[in-house]
Structures are given as structure tokens and as C-alpha cells.
Amino acid sequence: MVDYLNTLNPVQRQAVECIDGPVMVIAGPGSGKTRVLTYRVAHLMRSGIAPWNILCLTFTNKAAREMKERIETVVGIDVRKVWAGTFHSIFARILRIESPKLGYPSDFTIYDTDDTKSVISEIIQTMGLDKKNYNPNNVRSRISAAKSNLITPKMYAQNSELIDYDRMNRMPMIYKIYERYAHKCFRAGAMDFDDLLLQMYRLLYENKDNVKQKYQHAFRYVLVDEFQDTNYLQYAIIKELVNYPGSPENICVVGDDAQSIYSFRGATIENILQFESDFPATQTFKLEQNYRSTDPIIHAANQLITHNRNQIQKKIWTENEGGSKIKILQILSDTEEGRRVADLILEQKNRNHITNRDFAILYRTNAQSRVFEEHLRRNNIAYKVFGGLSFYQRKEVKDLLAYLRLAVNPKDDEALKRVINYPRRGIGKKSVENLIDQATESDQSIWDMLHNGNIKGRSARMIEQFSQMIGSFGRKASEQDAYTTAMHIAKHSGVLAAMREDTSMEGIGRLQNLTALLDGIKEFIDADEAEDIGDVQDKTLSSYLQNIALLTDFDTSEESTDYVSLMSVHAAKGLEFESVFVVGMEENLFPSFMAMSDPNQLDEERRLFYVAITRAKKLLCLSFAKTRYQYGQVRFNDPSRFLKEIPEECFDTVINLGQQTNGLPSEPKRLRRIAPLPKPKLPKLDIDVSDFRPSPSHTIKEGMTVLHLKFGKGEVQKIEGNNANKVATIHFSQIDNPSRKIMLKFAKLQILE
DNA sequence: GGGGGCTATGGGGGG
DNA sequence: CATAGCCCCC
């Protein structure tokens, strides 16, 4: 066993050893917060606390995983039974056991943001509301905010402040949409991300079968990382678990008000301020010594944050004297920024002998990643982009996942809508609309309509077949493991076959993604790791789906890890790198134009920048471009005000950053829009229109040579489909992508031979 | 049924 | 600029 206590400084050590009663640790960046949390858990276990009595809520699953690994090497005790993970993943696990107490199936589906938006759009439509006023995204965030603040639909409807606000924004019916949305999700056996928290709260609050006491008893020691980024609802759950008469109140929260950057999703700094009054016995520890960065970086960070209005007083300091000054780069354009940063990375690699994995490029918006990708690729530097469209959001992946979801929970309307006619099986738009309408009207799921609905016309047989198929998938899912089931579904749904048919470059890529998905499922069932908080390892499809619904980019394993990391500043929270580039340091970008008129939001942007620069251990480079393409226009933005808030002596060169802005937003100057060049049309084919005599469609047969007015001569290779819906595959040798599928009933073709 | 081209619209951060 | 939604056309 490692003598871990002696590796800590006095304050850290106190925070680790003080295991009974409420503890709050205010920890500056790089002050060994993770060490404290990790060693605290290790210390608990060495003091004889059973691992299953420890609940540790971290910000990412990766952080939880790394903590467990570290603990295992430190104390050599089996840590697998510690409840460690994100709020969402831990609560999803508990709800999987307890959700029947709330009327949900234990195989409930987790709706992602796209599903949520789709449900909301449908409600807006069926309510006959104007889509111009009701933007699904706005509505979604209103509903999400309500849930995060424990406001039920009923409370929402009675809250005049909320109703007035919505009325002012010309969306007076949001309360009604909220009510319908909640009902619809419930009826579909689905929870969205907020529900994972909200239903957990309900579970404890309603306390059916004394389930609250069960978990209060189980979680005798509770630890919460990044406490400054928890919202009202999350804190309410923690209090349900810990704050009750006779509680030992063994709760430890760790956070830093200066790094609070998630208020947009309901996080509230109030929680930190509230904590000491909710738990009067709280002992507070402040970790202020920074072990991560060198002096110029720390100095800059301290100075920067003094520009914020409210903060808990603390000053971070370091013994890492000296160190390189901060590099500041003034660049002409955003493209140039990509080139310069890639070049600097090469240079630093050679001069300072650091490897790809030591570098990070951090930006305010994910859309900025592209130029850096381009130039890194050009310089042959391996990189990985975090955030953006994840693997699980790709169309082909979502298609197969929809089938898997449907097998587990056929009431999942969103999944059903996605695949009822994919691959094509002759259940057209009209039939689907009809089913949806009936479902809405009778307040049942679409799945129920497949059996009880009033289905007329040709699609009836196809619908019957589809429903049979999903039923058989469901039986498979309840009998076999996730991989066997998924493989079976991929084959028998026709998804795999549809993919194989598409031999274009993109099509091959999509097939590879599907294969990767299936491989991932195999990995899941082969994995020996005991993510099993229940007693048996759960290898079912249902378990797999719950697992991946909460994965992020950081949770995917890969062979090679030596890459430059590209990510948003938000995503970089909690990480550190030898060399960090913070790019796009311009007004209207960082700080974001969305925040410019609100002092509170400006403060949050500043905290975000604080987080960005404190990721760097040794080298920090800040860059800004004079011109940048934004929303189709060249824009001239001033250097970010944040650059001016860092003392000049921190920088390696002095750059004239212009007038200090007095807090007023500077209107971005813009250039006239440049008209796009017309795209080249199909080459003109020399066909005399007056000679063109299209032949009747039924006379066209495989093997014929035909003439088409735009595509020219072509060879009929294949004819598929029945009667009126025959589709011909014709090879037109005179055009760019010669193989075309044409529906014969529309096409005008003249038979040549 | 579905792809291509056009227009309107948004425009941030994420579990 | 990117994307969504629409219409047109085959």
C-alpha cells in the first residue's frame, strides 16, 4: 500500500482525513482537487467503509473511471462496488431498478436531445401552433429549465411569472406543451436527460416502499465533484439523500466558484452559498496552491478574475517560479490562424520535445475546429476533435439503434417513426401520418395503433409484417444477449442489406460505422469490467442501450492516444495539457455575442476564459484574428476584452490591443455579401428535342439502350419493383455519376435499341 | 419514392 | 456559412 497521506499538503490532508460530517472544499484550478477526492475515497475504504456505502458523483464517467483505477493502486482494495459516475449515469442505474415504483417500465428508453425536439415539434404541430413563434429549441430549453428547478407542469401553469414571460415571447402555450410533452414521454416509457434527475427526485420524495430510506442507508458517504456546476434539482436530490433527521451528514462537496461555467443549463452558484446554511456543521477547506502551471499563467489568471464582480475570496499561488511568458498572436484571418497554430505545434514538438498528446487547441464554439483540422492534417499531426457530432448521432447508427430501442420498448414512438419505413417496405408517409394521428387522438402509442388502429388500404399487410417483425425482435431481446440480438436485428430488419447495396464512398463509410457499432456491442458483452452495481452483470440489450445513451466522446476507447486534442473550452474542464492554444480571442466570439449585453453572462464568459488558460501547465498561447468568416460574411472583430484584462508583463510581446472597451458591445462591422459563383450545370448534350419521342414506360425492359433528354444515352441494367412503381437502374455513360435510379412512371425515355 | 436545387433561417456551451 | 425544409423533377 502506498503511504498516500504523506504525499498531500497540510490542507489537502485535512480535507482527506476529515471523513465525518459535512465538508466543503473550495479548490482553485490545479490545486489537487482530484487527488483529494480520490484519496478521500481511498481513505474511507481503508477506514473500513464498505465500497457500496460510498457514492461519488463526478462530472464525467471518465473521471470516475480514472479515480477508481487510482484508488485501486493506492489502497489495493476492490473498488468495483463503489458507486462512482455522473449524476445521470448513477441515477439511470438506480431508476433501472426502481422505475416501476414510478409507473415506468424498468426497460425505459432514454430520449436524447433529438428525440426530445422531435416530440416537441410534433406537439406544436398537433396543437396547431405557429412554428414561427414556437421554436422547438426554445421550447425545449424552457421545459428543461422548468424540470431543473422542480417545476411541474401544474406549477408552471399556475406561475404567473413564467406565464407572463412566455406571453411576452409570444409563446403563451408553453405550459400546455410542457404538460403534453411530459405525458407523451411517460406514455412512451421514455425519460429525457432531465427526467433522469427529476424522476430520481420523485422516487425519493414519494418514497414508495421506503425506497428513500434504502438509499439514504446505502449512501452513507456522499462526495460531489464540480459542485459549482450542479443545478437546483441535483442539489435537491443530494439533500434528500443526506439531509434528514439523524443523518450522519457525511457529505463532501468540492468545487470552485471561479470555474462555474454551466449556468446556461441551470447550474447555480447559489448551491455553494447555500451549502453552509443547509449544513451548519460544515468544515470548509480552501486549496489555493497550484501545482499545475507556471507563474505567468497563474498571475494572468488571478488578474483576470478580479474583473468579475462576485466571487469567494481566494488567490491561487504557485512555487513554479519562472516559466515561459504567455504567447500572444495577432493574425490576419481565421485561415491563417489554423496555419500558424499548426506550425507552432510542429515547432514546439521539435524544440521542447513534447508529444501530440501534450497539446490542446481550445475554442469557444465547436464550429471553429475546421481550420485547425485542415492544417494539422497538412502537417501530418494526429488529432482528435471532441464534441460536435458524436458517433451515436450519425444517421446510420441511429437507424439501427432505433430498431434496438424498439425491440426493448415498442412504445418508443420516436424510434418507431424512424424505422417504420426504413428500409423501404411500402408504408408511406400518408399511412404513417394516419397512425400518428390516431395515436394522438386515442392517447396511445403508435405501436398500439399497429394492432388496434383503423388501418385501411394497401399498407395494412406491410404494417402487419412490420409489427410481427418487431415483436419477434422483442422476444429475441428478452432471451439473448445484446450482441446476438443486435446481430439478428441488423440482418433481419434489412438495415444491413440496405447498407451493402450502397457502394458509394459514403455508403462504405456508413457500413463501416454500422460494423463499428456492432463491434462495440460485442465489446460491451465481452467486457469483464464490473460496471455491475446490481449483483449480476447485465448483458442485455436493454442494459446496453442505457449504457450508451449517456456516453460522451471521452468514454470511447481507442488504440492510439497520441493526438492533439481539439475541443471547446467547456469540454476542457478538469483537464490539463503541457501546451494550450486558446484561439479566436475576439469580441463577439469570446466573449460570445450572445453574452455581450448581460453583465452576468459576461462574467460567466470570463470564468470560462479563466478555465481555458488554467488548463496549461507550461506553454500558453492566445490568438486572435482580425478578420473571420462568420455566418457567411467577413467580419472584423476587435481583440477580446479579456486580453486587455491580463497584465502586459505576462505576455512575451507587447501588442497594441486598442482602446479599452467600456463594457458596451461593439457592433461587428461587416462587408457586403459576395455573390456565390453559379455552379456548373450538366454538360449540354446534343439532342434534338423535336426528334425526341418518349416510349411508354411498360415497354422499357432490361438490356435496352434508351435516350434521356438531360442524361443522354443510357443502358437499362436492372428493373425492380411492381406494376406502377417500377424503378430502373440505368447507366448513362455521358454524365458524371452515371448510375441512376429512375422511376419509370415519371421518366421520359425513348427506346433506341 | 427520393434526390437535387433553391430559399429561409439560425447563429453557444452539454448530459 | 451550414442546415432544414420545400418544391420540382425524374
Protein CA A629 to sugar C1' B8 (Å) = 20
Per CA to C1' distance, which residue is closest to B3? A741
Q: Which class for A1: exposed (0-12), middle (13-18), buried (19 or more C-beta within 10 A)?
A: exposed
Protein CA A396 to sugar C1' B1 (Å) = 19
Query: For the ranges A36-40, A565-569, A574-578, A734-738, which has the lowest average pLDDT?
Result: A734-738
Reported as a single tens digit per residue, the pLDDT across A258-317 is: 999 998 888 888 899 899 999 999 999 999 999 999 999 999 999 999 998 877 777 889
Scanning every strand, the nucleotide with its C1' closest to A430's CA turns out to be: B1
Within A385-458, residue ranges assigned H as helices are 395-408, 413-419, 429-442, 446-452
Cell matching residue A359: 497539446
Q: How confident is the model at residue A534 (pLDDT cuts 50, 70, 90)?
A: very low
Scanning every strand, the nucleotide with its C1' closest to A674's CA turns out to be: C1
Per CA to C1' distance, which residue is closest to B1? A743
Give me the phi and psi of A354, to 5 degrees please. Answer: -115, 155
Mean pLDDT of A507-520: 85
- Cα(first)–Cα(last) distance of chain A, in Å? 86
Protein CA A40 to sugar C1' B15 (Å) = 26
Query: For the ranges A200-209, A315-324, A429-438, which has the lowest average pLDDT?
Result: A429-438
- Identify which of A568, A418, A605 has the alpha carbon closest to the alpha carbon of residue A493: A418
CA A720 distance to own-chain centroid: 41
Scanning every strand, the nucleotide with its C1' closest to A673's CA turns out to be: C1
pTM of the shown model: 0.87
Rounded CA-CA distance A718/A727 in Å is 8
Output residues with Cβ under 7 Å from nucleic strand C. A 121, 629, 631-632, 676, 708-710, 742-743, 746-748
Within A149-190, residue ranges assigned H as helices are 153-158, 160-168, 174-187
Q: Is the peptide bond before A591 cis (omega within 30 degrees of 0)?
A: yes
User: Residues A108, A409: contact at Cβ < 8 Å?
Assistant: yes
pLDDT value for A220: 96
Protein CA A189 to sugar C1' C7 (Å) = 37
pLDDT value for A144: 92
A273 against A237, higher pLDDT: A237
Per CA to C1' distance, which residue is closest to C2? A631
Give catalytic residue positions of A.
33-34, 225-226, 259, 615
User: Residues A40, A13: contact at Cβ < 8 Å?
Assistant: no
In this structure, the number of other CB atoms found within 10 A of the CB of residue A652 comes to 11
pLDDT value for A687: 56
pLDDT value for A735: 60
Q: How confident is the model at residue A359 (pLDDT cuts 50, 70, 90)?
A: very high
Rounded CA-CA distance A471/A125 in Å is 30
Scanning every strand, the nucleotide with its C1' closest to A629's CA turns out to be: C1
SS3 A731: strand
pLDDT value for A619: 96
Asked if the model's pLDDT at residue A668 lies above 50, the reply is: no
Asked if the model's pLDDT at residue A184 lies above 50, the reply is: yes
The interaxial angle of helices A193-206 and A87-98, nearest 10 deg, is 50
Scanning every strand, the nucleotide with its C1' closest to A388's CA turns out to be: B14
A194 against A688, higher pLDDT: A194
Asked if the model's pLDDT at residue A535 lies above 50, the reply is: no
Percent of chain A, pLDDT > 90?
Answer: 54
Mean pLDDT score of chain A, rounded to an integer? 86
pLDDT value for A674: 36
Q: Which class for A421: exposed (0-12), middle (13-18), buried (19 or more C-beta within 10 A)?
A: middle
- Find and list the nucleotides of strand B having atoms within 7 Å of a protein beta carbon: 1-2, 4-6, 9-15
Asked if the model's pLDDT at residue A676 lies above 50, the reply is: no
Protein CA A705 to sugar C1' B6 (Å) = 33
pLDDT value for A15: 95
A428 against A718, higher pLDDT: A428
- Identify which of A712, A392, A721, A327 has the alpha carbon closest to the alpha carbon of residue A547: A392
Protein CA A430 to sugar C1' C4 (Å) = 21
Asked if the model's pLDDT at residue A429 lies above 90, the reply is: no
Looking up cell 521539435 gives A350
Percent of chain A, pLDDT > 70?
Answer: 88
pLDDT value for A737: 55
Per CA to C1' distance, which residue is closest to B11? A631
Per CA to C1' distance, which residue is closest to C1? A632
Give residue A706's identity as a one-letter amino acid code: V
Reported as a single tens digit per residue, the pLDDT across A679-728 is: 333 344 455 556 666 676 777 777 788 777 666 777 777 776 655 556 67
Asked if the model's pLDDT at residue A673 lies above 50, the reply is: no
Protein CA A682 to sugar C1' C8 (Å) = 17
How many CA atoms lie within 13 Å of A678's alpha carbon, on the beta-carbon side? 3
- Identify which of A194, A212, A184 has the alpha carbon closest to the alpha carbon of residue A94: A212
Asked if the model's pLDDT at residue A446 lies above 50, the reply is: yes
pLDDT value for A695: 72
Scanning every strand, the nucleotide with its C1' closest to A633's CA turns out to be: C1
pLDDT value for A692: 66
pLDDT value for A187: 95
Protein CA A693 to sugar C1' B2 (Å) = 26
Per CA to C1' distance, which residue is closest to B13? A570
Scanning every strand, the nucleotide with its C1' closest to A708's CA turns out to be: C10
Q: Is the peptide bond before A105 cis (omega within 30 degrees of 0)?
A: no
Protein CA A360 to sugar C1' B6 (Å) = 40
Scanning every strand, the nucleotide with its C1' closest to A630's CA turns out to be: C1
CA A21 distance to own-chain centroid: 35
User: Residues A218, A253: contact at Cβ < 8 Å?
Assistant: no
User: Residues A182, A101: contact at Cβ < 8 Å?
Assistant: no
Q: Which class for A187: exposed (0-12), middle (13-18), buried (19 or more C-beta within 10 A)?
A: middle
Per CA to C1' distance, which residue is closest to B12? A365
pLDDT value for A566: 93
Protein CA A681 to sugar C1' B6 (Å) = 14
Reported as a single tens digit per residue, the pLDDT across A633-648 is: 788 889 999 999 999 9
Per CA to C1' distance, which residue is closest to B5? A679
pLDDT value for A740: 66
Rounded CA-CA distance A412/A57 in Å is 29
What is the SS3 assignment for A354-366? CCHHHEEEEECCH
SS3 A56: strand
Protein CA A444 to sugar C1' C1 (Å) = 42
- Find and list the nucleotides of strand C having atoms within 7 Å of a protein beta carbon: 1-2, 5, 9-10
Residues in chain A, total: 753
Looking up cell 484571418 gives A333
Per CA to C1' distance, which residue is closest to C9? A746
Rounded CA-CA distance A60/A85 in Å is 7
A204 against A65, higher pLDDT: A204
Scanning every strand, the nucleotide with its C1' closest to A710's CA turns out to be: C10
Query: Strands, DSSP E only, in A45-135?
Result: 54-58, 83-86, 109-111
Asked if the model's pLDDT at residue A589 lies above 70, the reply is: yes
User: Residues A140, A118: contact at Cβ < 8 Å?
Assistant: no
Protein CA A753 to sugar C1' B1 (Å) = 28
Q: Which class for A404: exposed (0-12), middle (13-18), buried (19 or more C-beta within 10 A)?
A: buried
Protein CA A241 to sugar C1' C2 (Å) = 45
User: Residues A485, A407: contact at Cβ < 8 Å?
Assistant: yes
pLDDT value for A433: 82
Question: Measuring CA to CA, how many Å separate A27 from each of A37, A144, A353?
Answer: 11, 29, 31
Per CA to C1' distance, which residue is closest to C10? A747
Cell matching residue A378: 497538412
Q: How confident is the model at residue A529 (pLDDT cuts 50, 70, 90)?
A: low
Question: Measuring CA to CA, how many Å separate A158 from each of A63, A155, A175, A525?
Answer: 41, 5, 9, 48
A326 against A390, higher pLDDT: A326
Scanning every strand, the nucleotide with its C1' closest to A742's CA turns out to be: C10
